[in-house]
Chains A and B, each alone.
Chain A
Amino acid sequence: MVTPPEGRDHRGISDPVDSLVPAPDTGPERAPGPKEASPGSFGPPAGPGPDGWAPPRGPWTNPGWHSARWRHLGRRVRRGPWRRSREDRLLGGVAGGLSRRLGIDVSVVRVGLVLLALAGGFGAGAYFVAWLLMPMEGEATSIASRAATDRRGLVLALALLPVAVGTVVVGAALHVGFLSSFAWPFFVGVGALVLIWRNCDAEERGWLRQVAEPVVQLQSKSERRWRALLVRFGAGFVLLAIGVAVLVIGHPSEAVLRPVGGAFLVIAAFVVLFGPWWLRLARDLVAERQARARAEDRADMAARVHDSVLQTLAMIQRSSDQPQRVVQLARAQERELRAWLFEGALPGTVGEGAPSLAAGVQQIAREAEDAHGVSVDVVTVGDCPLDDRLRALLGAAREATVNSAKWSGAPVVSLFAEVEPGRVSIFVRDRGRGFDLDEVAEDRRGIAESICARVLRQGGRATVRTSPGEGTEVEISVSRPKERT
């Protein structure tokens, strides 16, 4: 059930409401430059603004929030500039951006990049270069354009060149092919990362810090942390060195055990070095998923308020010269909101096969109000699940309510349903013009029969009490099996 948002500042809701209409610059599906007037087929319709009359069946049919909900899932191929993704992001959002641009699932892109990184290291280098060159979603300039003027950064990056060359030379001297093949992408990547770090905006730097924090623990000041860090790095590097040494020096003809031991040590080194980071990453992913779920709940709620209350208010403003219509709108909205807050019925869902008698009665009232512009006063006592008999009862009650709404001329129809242990009764009453039962015209007999016969078939009872000028009351009831209330 939805908790009634008591004491909640309803104004706080307006933010996500606004955000439901995609801003013109929030995605690769738009071209950059001047704002486009048309949101395209992908965006929601114009929304419920003062220029948007809601469809006649009520305020719930606006599909606006659907697109908000599914926006990030609808990865279609879009022509447009290459942009890094803000939402699908583990490091720089490159994979997310590629997946959007190419229409490939983001996981596939990530796996591909990792494989490329493992096979010769190309993936890693390419990743950081792409990070440098691709602007962030919603921005026009890349980090590279800023890095071009960062002389110190460029010098730092270039300083890696001799190191790379040195590594390649050492690798060649030792006849270790993979060292040189890995060296280039590695140092290109590191160089790019240096430039990214120095030239990205504050927001992105915060993100980088957050990602890197568990590895180097920038935030922690305590000495113990530092010592732990030193020990961890020391142990890691020793293991790494031994592992690499065993791998590199080990002659192919020697025992098979040594390379395996070396590989094991290398892996151990990576675990020691990056273990905490991976753990933290996994933990963050869980936390992020929860946060996203909460945000989605909030957005969902905002969307519902948006599509219901705000829509209705907009319609009321437009109908201010028709008091009857205003009252009708307000009442329908009130009923829906109340059903949501107090009964947990999601707006718009009560109608689809009402789960219980009381919900069914509410639905009848709402339909009659919407269709005929009368107020229907609903009082229910008790409730029970629906069966065939009660559905017939509801059908007859709907007929009676619609009749009253249509023919009586009364502005208010009272609808009372009571569930007793052995019987369910519904009374539909109006104070309208009424009619003479004995003089019911042939063509109106059918109506009475569609009320009475329906209930009688289920072993129930139907009574119509009316006389001209006295209004009409229809009483219908069916018995209930005693077994369980």
Chain B
Amino acid sequence: MSDPDEPVEPGGERRPRVFLVDDHHLFRAGVRAELGDAVRVVGEADEVAAAVELIRERQPDVVLLDVHLPDGGGQAVIEAVRTSHPDIRFLALSVSDAPEDVIAVIRAGARGYVTKAISGIELIDAVRRVAEGDAVFSPRLAGFVLDAYAGMPDVQRPTSVDPELDQLSSREREVLRLIARGYTYKEIARELSISTKTVESHVSAVLRKLQLSTRHQLTYWATERRLV
């Protein structure tokens, strides 16, 4: 999701404080190296309990969180921290393709999802965006979300509390499709003749819907996927 034209290191700006949670030591070391000086890594942990304790203590801006952790996964970390520190932001990071796990972490409160194949520059950019409160959608996450919201005729949702939350607007779908096609926010803005800020707000809206929707199909979809 990065734009190679953007400067990597805006001088003078405060570097985001980042905390790493991943059960693979090697991977944490790799991420640390890739993030380099662009961020301040204030700590790392390899399991849920230690992560929750350290995150509460160090209060980072962004937690880079593995989706798959023993004892409850990234989801458990988010749920434990969010109640006491709602301002700490989470960015999920995973090699897993299993959509239900990713969606579960997003619904728990992560501000985005990137795959571990992401390049260092893109990762730094993603961390910045999340630190600023934006959402970060990788093409894969966009695909998952489109999939989760796809093929559901509107009439089938009479039980919903807020119908607004249960469907994506056509503009939001368009934005997600472009993300899935590999467009950056800037390219999307140009394609749709809107501002980058508007693209960001669309993505944030999708994220909000994803997190707040009570649509039972979303849950159903997840369970169904798990069974396959």
Whether A associates with B in a native complex is yes
What's the nearest-Cβ distance from chain B to residue A376, in Å?
Answer: 10
With A1-B228, A338-B97 in contact, is A414–B151 under 8 Å at CB? Answer: no
Residue of A nearest to B99 (CB): A342
Interface segment, one of B42-50, B126-134, B135-143, B195-203? B135-143
Residue of A nearest to B176 (CB): A381
Interface residues, chain B, with chain A CB atoms under 8 Å away: 95, 97-98, 117, 139-140, 142-143, 146-147, 150-151, 177, 180-183, 228
Please tell me if the beta carbons of A414 and B95 are within 8 angstroms of each other in the complex. Answer: no
Q: How large, as a class, is the contact surface on chain A?
A: 20 to 34
With A331-B117, A418-B177 in contact, is A381–B146 under 8 Å at CB? Answer: yes
Number of A-B contacts (CB under 8 A): 48
With A414-B182, A473-B181 in contact, is A380–B151 under 8 Å at CB? Answer: no
Contact code string A403-440 (vs B, CB < 8 Å = 1, else 0): 00000000010101010110000010101000000000
What's the nearest-Cβ distance from chain A to residue B69, in Å?
Answer: 12
With A377-B182, A414-B182, A427-B181 in contact, is A334–B146 under 8 Å at CB? Answer: no
Residue of B nearest to A427 (CB): B181
Please tell me if the beta carbons of A416 and B143 are within 8 angstroms of each other in the complex. Answer: yes
With A342-B97, A342-B98, A381-B143 in contact, is A429–B182 under 8 Å at CB? Answer: yes
What's the nearest-Cβ distance from chain A to residue B112, in Å?
Answer: 16
What's the nearest-Cβ distance from chain B to residue A473, in Å?
Answer: 7
| B residues in contact with A412, CB < 8 Å | 182
A234 on the B face (CB < 8 A): no
- Given A342-B98, A379-B142, 20 other A-B contacts at CB below 8 A? A331-B117, A334-B95, A334-B117, A377-B140, A379-B139, A380-B143, A381-B147, A381-B150, A382-B147, A382-B150, A382-B151, A412-B182, A416-B139, A416-B143, A416-B181, A416-B182, A418-B177, A429-B183, A473-B181, A485-B151
| A residues in contact with B150, CB < 8 Å | 381-382, 420
Please tell me if the beta carbons of B228 and A414 are within 8 angstroms of each other in the complex. Answer: no
Interface residues, chain A, with chain B CB atoms under 8 Å away: 1, 331, 334, 338, 342, 375, 377, 379-382, 412, 414, 416, 418, 420-421, 427, 429, 431, 473, 485
6 smallest A-B Cβ distances: which pairs?
Answer: A414-B182, A379-B143, A379-B180, A381-B146, A416-B181, A427-B181
A-B contact pairs, 6 of them (CB 8 A): A342-B98, A377-B182, A379-B139, A379-B142, A414-B182, A429-B183
| A residues in contact with B143, CB < 8 Å | 379-381, 416
State the CA gap A380–B144 with chains docked (Å): 8
Residue of B nearest to A430 (CB): B182
What's the nearest-Cβ distance from chain A to residue B146, in Å?
Answer: 4
Residue of A nearest to B116 (CB): A334
| B residues in contact with A420, CB < 8 Å | 150
| A residues in contact with B98, CB < 8 Å | 342
| A residues in contact with B97, CB < 8 Å | 338, 342
State the CA gap A422–B17 with chains docked (Å): 47
